[in-house]
Amino acid sequence: MSDLAIQSYLPPVIEVESQDELLEVAMGPHHPSTHGVFRMDVALDGERVVRLKPVFGYLHRNHEKIAEKTTYLASMPYTDRLDYFCSMTNNWAYALAVEKLAGIEVPERAEYLRVITAELTRIQNHASAIGFLLQEMGASGTPLMYAFREREIILDLFESLSGSRMMCNYMRFGGCRVDLPAGWLDAARQVVAGLPRFIDEIEALLTSNEILMARSQGVGILKPDLAINAGVTGVMLRATGVNYDVRKVDHYGIYDRFSFRVPLGEHGDIYDRYMLRVLEMRESVKILEQAIPQLPAGPILDPKSKPRGFRPKPGEAYGRIEAPKGELGFYLISDGTGNPYRYRVRPPSLINLTILEDMCLGQNVADVVLIFGSVDIVLGEVDR
């Protein structure tokens, strides 16, 4: 990794016979393939993409500025709305940043609960990401419905734990909000026991499917040096063969205690990204199988933490985790008052999307939809 030179970079220029013959198409903002309100201004030479300009900001909700005007705790429910598929990991990243800022210790049981909920989140996110990718490939419904069926079971667990399916608002500075309700752990054990069957089913349905292979192998290739220079993280980066997982690199939480592997791709194409998501689900199941029996008894919240009047000492902190979509970080500066002086989100969706043009240039317009889908973004996090 160290021998890669960091240099100024421009996307390649696609040769065309005549600039006047190009057709400009605005894909979006209300395009069924755009996962939300997002626009791609594409210049086409026949079927070939010559230029592509992503236009963000349709879903901008001023998250960072609102967070600077409210208390630390009041930003917690807003983080659910960043990447609304993975509210548990968003909560964790923000709680981690605040805990670093204020030096709060997290009890053992809360750490385990965080790992369990985060890995369940990763599984349901990857399952739906695969479903959406196949939906965009034209497999209308079936893979997505299979993924959503499994996702619903996991969301039921989240609902009985935190009260809400998607907007969990579960973690607090120094632990978690509530302890497990009666019978939750058995239900979770049952769900986890059923997950390998679901992953086998998805693999039987898709992995050797010739249409999927024809549409995705060798399409939307991302080179490792470009991925590193652009700051791409998560599945997108690992599909190019770069071994970088924040869980292994940063040792946050208690991930050191579990044995799991980081699957790596080779070609950096769409098929690699699909395959990596399947393999990561299997690794997450492995983590869950280790974490659920080990769950210790004890408090779930640091006894010193209180809901009101939280004022950390002046300072700054950056907390980051491996969210399902990549490295999710929160950067906070405290000036000693009840509100953060600066609150910044490093959203993996936005940064993984910045190399969209490089992956799409020279490809067919039908593949743009697939390449975009394989990035796995949520517009709530891109625009914030």
Partner 1 sequence: MLGEGILKGLGETARNFVGSFVSEDRLTTVEYPEQRLLPIENTRDFPFLVYDGADPDAGLRCVSCQICEKECPPKCIYIVKSTDKKPDYVGKPQFYPARFDIDISVCMSCQICVEVCPFEAIKMDTEFELSTDDRFGGLILDKHKLAKSNEHFQRIHPTEAAEVDARLAEEKEKVEAKAKAAAEAAAAKTAAESAAAKTAAESAARKAEDGSSGSDAEGVKP
Residues within the interface to partner 1 (CB under 8 A) = 70-71, 73-78, 80-81, 142, 146, 149, 152, 156, 159-164, 167, 169, 177-178, 181-182, 201, 204-213, 307-308
Residue 70 vs 229, nearer CB to partner 1: 70
Residue 81 vs 346, nearer CB to partner 1: 81
Shortest CB 350 distance to partner 1, Å? 23
Residue 12 vs 308, nearer CB to partner 1: 308
Shortest CB 10 distance to partner 1, Å? 39
DSSP assignment of 77-111 equals HHHHTTSTT-HHHHHHHHHHHHHHHHT----HHHH
Residue 191 vs 375, nearer CB to partner 1: 191
Q: CA 328 to CA 326: how far, in whole Å?
A: 6
Shortest CB 375 distance to partner 1, Å? 24
Question: What single-letter amino acid sits at 66?
Answer: I
Shortest CB 57 distance to partner 1, Å? 21
Shortest CB 153 distance to partner 1, Å? 9
Which phi and psi angles does 203 have, rounded to 5°?
Answer: -70, -40
Shortest CB 308 distance to partner 1, Å? 6
Name all contacts of 29-35 with Cβ < 8 Å and 24+ positions apart. 29/55, 29/58, 33/136, 33/369, 33/372, 33/373, 34/372, 34/379, 35/132, 35/372, 35/373, 35/377, 35/378, 35/379
Shortest CB 265 distance to partner 1, Å? 20
3-state secondary structure of 324: coil
Q: CA 101 to CA 117: how far, in whole Å?
A: 23
Residue 75 vs 363, nearer CB to partner 1: 75
Q: CA 121 to CA 239: how far, in whole Å?
A: 20
Residue 193 vs 204, nearer CB to partner 1: 204
Task: Give whole-number Cα distances, 340 to 90, 210, 215, 313, in Å.
Answer: 17, 52, 47, 11
